[in-house]
Amino acid sequence: MIKLEQPDITLGFIPLTDSAPLIVAKELGFFERWGLNVTLQKQNSWSTLRDKLHAGVLDAAQMLAPMPIASALGLGAPSANVITPLVLSLNGNAITLSEGLLQEVLKENEITNVTLPMAGYLLQKVVEKRKHRGLAKLKFATVFPYSCHYYQLRDWLKAAKVNLDDVDLLVIPPINMVECLENGDIDGFCVGGPWNAKAVRAGIGMTALTSFDIWQDSPEKVLGLLDSWHQKNPNSVLALCAALKQACSWLESVPNRFEAARLLSQSEYLDAELDVIAPSLLGSCLTHKSMPPRSIPSYNQFSVSNNGCINQPELVRGEWLIKHMVSAGQIPPNVTIPLDLIGKVFRPDIYQKMRLLIEDKGVQFYRRSG
């Protein structure tokens, strides 16, 4: 019998399509089944979510995969020992271009339609022409500096041989993305759901490609918590991971994902229409008002039963993220990366303990009495 050190847990999340595991675990009683009383706290920005986690105002939180590494290195905030014992989702982002930029792409390349996923060289031509004519640089937005969105956008542009100095990369809060795309403040963005689908439904842009077209099956959101909190509450952490892992497994079934979309659309969560949340969960990428959706079965991926490892925070994935942080120039010269950094942040050992616990059905969690 294992006792929970702390049954009441406050879990932070940002209202996005891939917060599905947290919302499913809450709404379908997975947390309760493990004896946990979890309060989900909706956050408005990744920075404040991080500060609250560092300060212990949140016990744990859904985080962008590079964030625990940024926390450990003290990037953007004083360093804190954030660890991740669980990967919550893979993929899920996409790059959407404004209608204006789409027309420019067609014109400059002398074509009448774009094959999707859109090849980067079509964009490169626009960037070159603009530079040649002394016109304004194209502006692309992501949601946070330490995010896969930012690295994916950079990788796509670099692969297209776009000189990154010839475009502007900005950070804009997701709630402002669609509006900014519509009024021409930006020419494109790389974000998660439901924001790409929102832009397409509004008829103001084209989703050119998904993150799955750029990086296959890389961790997108992870569970983050302080190492000190884990040391005080090892069993509560195991129970939290177990409940979330079960929610991920439940989300593997496509019919279940439609049910998840209904839960997500509620006002206390995403507060958005079903027709912008459901498509990506069902493996459909909306592309453009006058084009059919693309089938991307892994658009939002939470669990794959023939590959038991996708929720495991593998060290090699962490190393891959660090490489991107370095290449994006995000590590200041006065910050050295300790050799054992990823081993401290990514914790497959906790994940493995949790797996054994789920398999050993005899074990039950109990609230601490008194």
Partner 1 sequence: MISTAKSQSHLAAQSQLNILLIDENVQRAESIVTALDNSRYKVSHLACTQAGLLKQVDEIQPDIIVIDIESPNRDMLESLHTISHYNPKPVVMFSSQQDTETINLSVQSGVSAYVVGDIDPERVKPILDAAVARFKEFHKLKDELNDTKQQLESRKTIDLAKRLLMRSNKMSEEQAFHSMRKTAMDTGQKLENVAKTIVSMLRSFEKGNDHD
Contact set with partner 1 (CB under 8 A)? 44-48, 51-52, 54-57, 75-78, 80, 143-145, 150, 169-176, 179-180, 183, 185, 330
Minimal distance, residue 331 CB to partner 1, in Å: 10
Contact 67, 51 (CB under 8 A): no
User: Based on CB atoms, which residue is closest to partner 1, 170 or 326?
Assistant: 170
Tell me how far apart the alpha carbons of residues 32 and 71 are, in angstroms, rounded to a whole number. 30
Q: Which is nearer to partner 1, 38 or 177 (CB)?
A: 177
Q: How many CB atoms lie within 10 A of CB 108?
A: 17
Nearer to partner 1, 144 or 215 (CB): 144
Q: Which is nearer to partner 1, 77 or 309 (CB)?
A: 77
How many Cα atoms within 13 Å fall on the side-chain side of residue 336?
Answer: 3
The nearest distance, CB 145 to partner 1, in angstroms, is 4
Q: Which is nearer to partner 1, 41 or 256 (CB)?
A: 41
Nearer to partner 1, 157 or 180 (CB): 180
What's the CA gap between 88 and 241, in Å, rounded?
A: 10
Q: Which is nearer to partner 1, 173 or 308 (CB)?
A: 173
- Using CA atoms, how far apart are residues 133 and 252, in angstroms rounded to an integer? 50
Report the alpha-carbon distance of residue 50 to residue 33 in Å, rounded: 28
Is residue 327 within 8 A of residue 319, CB to CB? The reply is: no
Q: Which residues contact 234 (CB under 8 A, 6 or more apart)?
A: 5
Residue whose CB is less far from partner 1, 76 or 348: 76
Amino acid at 117: P
Least distance to partner 1, CB of residue 171, Å: 3
Residue with the two structure tokens 């947290």:
22
Tokens 């099956």 correspond to what residue?
Answer: 217
DSSP 248-316: HHHTTSHHHHHHHHHHHTSTTTT---HHHHHHHHTTEE--BTTBPPEE-TTSEE---TT-TTTTS--HH
Distance of CA 310 to the CA centre of its chain: 14
3-class secondary structure, 343? helix
Of 54 and 201, the one with the shorter C-beta distance to partner 1 is: 54
Nearer to partner 1, 57 or 254 (CB): 57
Rounded (10°) angle between helices 148-159 and 315-327: 60
Q: What are the DSSP calls for 18-50, one per residue?
A: GGHHHHHHHHTTHHHHTT-EEEEEE-S-HHHHH
SS percent in the chain: helix, strand, coil, step 5:
45, 20, 35
Shortest Cβ 80–partner 1 spacing (Å): 7
